Each structure stands twice: as C-alpha cells, then as structure tokens.
C-alpha cells in the first residue's frame, strides 16, 4: 500500500468557538481513524495549515472533500508526495492554535504574512510556521 502526504494552507471563513473546534476535531478524528489518516492541523491568525498522510487513495479522496468544505477557502497546496513511513502515526489529527504572542516570539512581530511567506519564501524549511510545527512535534514526542 502506497502512503501519500499532502499539506496545504487555507483561510477560515467563519469564526469558530472553542466548542465548534472541539466538535469539528472530534468528527475529523473519528473519520480519520476509520480511513487510516493521520496528521496535524494548525490554526494561525485565521489560517489553517494542515498536513495529512495515509493510503494514497484515501488521501486523494479526503483532500477533494476538504477542498470543498465551506468552512475555509483560498486553499494553497504547499507540498505533496509519497512516504515510506508515517510522521504522525499516533495522531488521528493533532491540533495546535498558534496565538499572537507565540508568533511575536518567533518572528519578532505579530504580523505574519503567511501567503506571502509561503509563496515567496524559497527557504521553506526556515519558515516560522514550520518552526512552530517542529516545536509542537517536539512537545508531542517529549
């Protein structure tokens, strides 16, 4: 079975309360367990950044469904490819909300131009959002 991953960024179209987010994550995690998808979702200043991994067919199917979800728009595909091994094998969908204070700590001010940064930044591995992601992964595995 070929494993595949996809990562993208999008804009939230509606404000979600803590309860909305919890219900949303509960449903996502239940379904991801059923279809063997794992990954991580970040919410940063109204932008979602998601990484999903799993069987290629399931990834293609769920990516199409997510693309049509009215809770977000302006989807930008960041990366996709095949995998030998999962990066988030114990996470049906890890979630992290990145607040202004945390962004300020990382980039020096609160104004993080995510689209610009992703589209123009040739040095993606140094991108502050990826640093948040890596720091978060470290806290998960410690």
Ligand X SMILES: Cc1cc2nc3c(=O)[nH]c(=O)nc-3n(C[C@H](O)[C@H](O)[C@H](O)COP(=O)(O)O)c2cc1C
Q: Could you list the residues that contact ligand X (CB under 6 A)?
A: 28, 31-32, 37, 41, 48, 50, 52, 62, 65-66, 69, 71-72, 93
Residue whose CB is less far from ligand X, 7 or 32: 32
What minimum distance in Å lies between the beta carbon of 95 and ligand X?
A: 10
Residues 6+ apart with CB under 8 A from 18: none
Largest CA distance in the chain: 44
What minimum distance in Å lies between the beta carbon of 96 and ligand X?
A: 13
Residue whose CB is less far from ligand X, 7 or 50: 50
Distance CA 6, CA 8 (A): 7
Beta strands in 1-142 (DSSP E): 3-12, 38-44, 47-55, 72-83, 94-98
Residue whose CB is less far from ligand X, 89 or 126: 89
């Amino acid at each position: 079975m070929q494993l595949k991953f996809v990562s993208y960024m999008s804009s939230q179209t509606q404000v979600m309360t803590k309860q909305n987010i919890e219900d949303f994550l509960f449903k996502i995690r239940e379904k991801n367990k059923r279809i063997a998808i794992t990954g991580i979702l970040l919410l940063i200043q109204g932008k979602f950044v998601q990484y999903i991994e799993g069987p290629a067919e399931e990834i293609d199917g769920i990516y199409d469904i997510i693309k049509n979800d009215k809770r977000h728009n302006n989807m930008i595909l960041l990366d996709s490819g095949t995998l030998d091994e999962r990066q988030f094998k114990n996470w049906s969908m890890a979630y992290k909300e990145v607040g202004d204070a945390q962004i300020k700590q990382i980039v020096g001010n609160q104004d993080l131009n995510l689209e610009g940064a992703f589209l123009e930044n040739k040095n993606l591995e140094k991108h502050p959002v990826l640093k948040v992601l890596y720091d978060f992964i470290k806290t998960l595995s410690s």
